[in-house]
């Protein structure tokens, strides 16, 4: 069968079938996974790092790490969710390592990529407002929200980590989201 025929066959597979094919050594299947999810991963990373160049690097690193980890992928979550978790954790780590650097370089990078300074300033202001809103939350609401939204832990994992009943975790995350939505109303 020609390469073109293989590519078409790979395109018809769902994500789990692609993972199985990659685990069996099919690099074409991994290429298809990357094609399917690269824009999603890049967008998720860009929302965190707010720097297109850094986002590209982290996205590539995400897929490299995913490829290395695919033999251990058990299918407990959707492939997209799994990739998001890897990408988001890498992005948060990058921002944490270069907290002062990321926001200072953003306007020039965004301006160079075609967005105007007004847009980059607005994005910076909104990100700062969101950070301030999260910091202003009471600790009992902030901790479960951060574990859920930034660390992508399940409600059960959060309940165990914070030693709280599951319904309490759900309620606190709901209240935290509602408080953030109220505080961020002017940005909607």
Residue 50's domain is classified under what CATH number?
1.10.1740.10
| Domain presence at residue 112 | no
N- to C-terminal Cα separation, the chain: 52
Domain count for the chain, please give it: 2
5: domain range? 1-97
Q: Do 2 and 74 sit in the same domain of this protein?
A: yes
Domain at 183, CATH number: 1.10.10.10
Cβ atoms of 148 and 88 within 8 Å: the answer is no
Residue 8's pLDDT is what?
Answer: 52
Q: From CA 46, how far away is CA 173, in angstroms rounded? A: 24
The pTM of this model reads: 0.51
- Mean pLDDT, 10 residues at a time, the chain of 188 residues: 51 91 89 92 88 89 91 86 90 75 40 53 72 83 83 85 90 88 75
Which of 77, 97, 117 terminates a domain? The answer is: 97
Find how far residue 2's CA is from the centre of its chain: 36
Q: So what's the pLDDT on residue 133?
A: 81
Write down which residue in 73, 97, 121 finishes a domain: 97
Kindly state whether residues 149 and 90 are assigned to the same domain: no
Phi and psi at 51, nearest 5°, equal -145, 110
3-class state of residue 162 by DSSP: helix
Residue 131 lies in a domain: no
The pLDDT value recorded for residue 71 is 87
């Amino acid at each position: 069968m020609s390469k073109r025929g293989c590519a078409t066959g790979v395109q018809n597979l769902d994500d789990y079938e692609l993972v199985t094919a990659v685990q069996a050594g099919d690099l074409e299947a991994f290429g298809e996974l990357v094609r399917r999810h690269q824009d999603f991963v890049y967008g998720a990373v860009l929302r965190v790092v707010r720097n297109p160049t850094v986002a590209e690097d982290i996205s590539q690193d995400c897929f490299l790490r995913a490829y290395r980890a695919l033999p251990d992928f058990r299918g407990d979550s959707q492939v997209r969710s799994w990739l998001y978790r890897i990408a988001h954790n890498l992005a948060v780590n990058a921002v944490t390592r270069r907290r002062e650097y990321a926001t200072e370089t953003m306007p020039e990078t965004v301006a160079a990529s075609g967005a105007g300074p007004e847009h980059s300033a607005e994005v910076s202001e909104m990100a700062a407002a969101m950070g301030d809103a999260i910091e202003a939350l009471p600790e009992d609401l902030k901790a479960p929200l951060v574990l859920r939204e930034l660390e992508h832990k399940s409600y059960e994992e959060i309940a165990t980590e914070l030693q709280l009943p599951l319904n309490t975790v759900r309620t606190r995350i709901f209240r935290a989201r509602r408080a953030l939505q109220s505080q961020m109303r002017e940005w909607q």
